[in-house]
Amino acid sequence: MIFLDNAGTTKMFAECVTTYSHFACDEFYNPSAVSRKSAFVHAKLEEVRRVCLKKLGALKGTVIFTGGATESNNLAVKGAVRNGDFEYVFSKGEHPSIFNVARSLENEGKIVKYIGLCKDGKVDLAELEKTLNKKTKLISCMLVSNETGAINDIKKIVGLKNQLSPQALIHVDAVQGFMKIPFSVEDLGVDMLSFSAHKFHGPKGVGGLYVRSLQLIKNIVDGGGQEYGLRSGTENVPAIMAMHTALSMIDVKGNFEKVTNLKRIFNEIVSQESDIKILDFHGSPYIEILSFKGVKGETMLHALEERGVIVGLGSACSAKKAGNRILENIGYNKDEIISSCRISFNAYMTESEVKEAGNIIIETYKEMLKRLS
């Protein structure tokens, strides 16, 4: 089986399983208790927190451990909401865990504004510049699009924010960027940033929210006061420690170069079939879209799975819904959207695997055309 839906999830490193088992069965103690064993576990969590900050390139701030990106995104946005005459700004390209929170804010009577996307899949900076003002409380924009791989220029967005809305907070969903593309939160200048372990070969159900200052947000769940009072509930120690193992194993720069080469090899093969269109937004090498003229993307997905190749239809959080909100906002027509599949790589694939996958995709596409003709 060749897995080409790594933007949806990644295979956990075997070493992470070993770490998880150790902290689930041997060092299983509650980090909030007062025993020496618990103090040891608490110290381990603080070590992971420091490692996360280092990997993020943070000179200040902290990381709040969460149950994953959806919780991190909800905490960032809802935790920043305040009573008053404020405006909240989101791009139209956001993941459902941000976009649907924005919709819920609208339903609560908050003033929410949405920024469109350009043809290159990036946030329309000209529209953003016209939208920001002194009432803007929060701007939330993803670093790397989970649908297209387009990389937003966060530094320019922060520059506009500093110029037009200096009082506003900037939150970035970096789920498809953290441990995949080189960046630092200090260089970007952001206030909050979300990440999720299962996108970089760690376990599902754990992630984090970087916050520049603990005073920027309020908690959205009441409880025992863990994670500086911002995320109550006993920490998922085995998953956090397994995430730490994944963090220690990844060479971001080396992996970036390898995946860039894998994508090039794959595209050289697929482009031999003129009716397979590569929608490449020249962003992250980890993600791209293929559009199959005359064949539905879902049909291709199931046919390819029968041949041992797994691809995606976009965000797994919304893949069962008709259409694609992101591609629609960029300007693709209905036929192109219906006929599309998302391809996403990982750095531990081999050249022979991507070559085989490319050839299987072409063969399967030709078979589907014959059946449908």
Kindly state the DSSP code that residue 95 receives in the 8-state scheme. -
How far is 365 from 367, CA to CA, in rounded Å? 5
What residue type is assigned to position 225 of the chain?
A: G
Long-range contacts at 18-27 (CB < 8 A, ≥ 24 apart): 18/245, 19/238, 19/241, 19/242, 19/244, 19/245, 20/203, 20/238, 20/239, 20/241, 20/242, 21/238, 22/238, 22/241, 23/237, 23/238, 23/241, 23/242, 24/238, 27/237
Residue 369, number of CB atoms within 10 A of its CB: 14
What residue type is assigned to position 288 of the chain?
A: E
3-state SS assignment for residue 194: strand
Residue 317 among the catalytic residues: yes
Q: How far apart are the first and last CA of the chain?
A: 29
Q: Residue 274 pairs with which residues in a beta bridge?
A: none
How far is 164 from 135, CA to CA, in rounded Å? 10
Residue 106: alpha-carbon gap to chain centroid: 24
- Report the run of H or E that residue 173 belongs to, with start and end: strand 169-173
Catalytic residue among 16, 141, 317, 341: 317
What is the residue-wise DSSP string for 102-147? HHHHHHTT-EEEEE-B-TTSSB-HHHHHHH--TTEEEEE--SB-TT
Residue 341: alpha-carbon gap to chain centroid: 18
Catalytic residues: 317
